[in-house]
């Protein structure tokens, strides 16, 4: 009889231990799932990411607009340089240059140089041969610096590449609902903004090199609206990347605070 009693007590003890272990495991699983839930983004955080992403998209649009157009710089001869009823000016960007012939009568009498480019006239546009045969372009007897122009174009393309990679990271972050991809997205957008600003600086150096290559033809030069688009885009992209990094840090701090 006593032997049966002890055997029964041992079996009940084992069942109790097993039940306690199972309950602890269930509690642990619940805690783990709760921890995973805290690592997910809330609706408020997702809304902030979408807002910053919209700002970054504006920067990307301005970058594409500026890089794809040929109004980075305008070069204008003196209005009466040719001594006839027309004058010439040129404008070019990273890929293409145009020479425009304008009527002197259409130009503001107080303006000493030919232009502006918006006036009606004949235009002759050609793509640069930097990327094919490696030839320098000649504009008003002045020769471009191929290396500087190539460097500006390559930096602009790298900027667009980093922008696309950052956008992919943000799309994955919103799709998966996790903030992990905000960190590489922040790096990509900040680097994209820095690269496009460097492209503008190097392009300006290429313009100065063009002007100093020959002094026989006096030219008035000024950076045009494409550069304004690209410069604004660089600042917006750096701001967007910094904002993504801040959102990631806030979420990371909040996650560790909850886990503690």
Mean pLDDT of the chain: 83
- Two tokens at 63? 């970058």
pLDDT in tens, 105-143: 999 988 889 989 889 989 999 999 888 888 899 998 899
Write the CA distances from 240 to 40, 62, 170, 244, integer angstroms.
22, 14, 11, 6
pLDDT band (50, 70, 90) for residue 37: very low
pLDDT in tens, 228-251: 999 999 999 999 999 998 887 876
Q: Looking at residue 132, what is its pLDDT?
A: 85
Q: Which residue has the higher pLDDT, 139 or 9?
A: 139
75 has a pLDDT exceeding 80: yes
Under 8 Å between Cβ of 230 and 196: yes
Task: For residues 249 and 260, give the distance between their C-alpha atoms in angstroms, rounded to a whole number.
Answer: 17
Please report how many Cα atoms fall inside a 13 Å half-sphere around the Cα of residue 25, on the Cβ side: 6
Mean pLDDT, residues 58-82 taken together: 93
253 has a pLDDT exceeding 90: no
Domain 43-259 CATH class label: mainly alpha
Q: Looking at residue 40, what is its pLDDT?
A: 66
| Stated pTM of the model | 0.79
Mean pLDDT, residues 11-24 taken together: 46
Under 8 Å between Cβ of 127 and 96: yes
């Amino acid at each position: 009889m006593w032997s049966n009693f002890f055997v029964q007590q041992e079996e009940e003890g084992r069942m109790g231990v097993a039940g306690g272990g199972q309950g602890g495991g269930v509690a642990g699983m619940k805690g783990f799932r709760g921890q995973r839930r805290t690592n997910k983004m809330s609706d408020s955080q997702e809304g902030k990411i979408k807002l910053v992403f919209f700002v970054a998209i504006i920067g990307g649009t301005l970058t594409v607009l500026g890089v794809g157009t040929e109004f980075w710089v305008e070069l204008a001869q003196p209005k009466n340089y040719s001594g006839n009823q027309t004058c010439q000016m040129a404008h070019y960007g990273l890929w293409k240059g145009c020479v425009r012939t304008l009527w002197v009568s259409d130009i503001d009498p107080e303006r000493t140089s030919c232009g502006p480019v918006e006036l009606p006239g004949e235009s002759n546009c050609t793509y640069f041969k930097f990327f094919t045969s490696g030839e320098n372009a000649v504009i008003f007897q002045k020769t471009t610096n191929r290396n500087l122009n190539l460097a500006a174009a390559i930096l602009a393309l790298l900027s667009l590449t980093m922008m696309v990679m950052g956008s992919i990271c943000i799309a994955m972050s919103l799709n998966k609902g996790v903030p992990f991809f905000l960190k590489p997205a922040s790096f990509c957008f900040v680097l994209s903004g820095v690269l496009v600003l460097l492209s503008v600086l190097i392009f300006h150096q290429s313009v100065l090199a063009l002007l100093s290559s020959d002094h026989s033809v006096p030219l008035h030069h000024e950076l045009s609206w494409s550069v304004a688009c690209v410069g604004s885009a660089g600042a917006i992209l750096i701001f967007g990347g910094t904002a993504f990094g801040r959102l990631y840090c806030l979420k990371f701090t909040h996650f560790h605070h909850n886990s503690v």
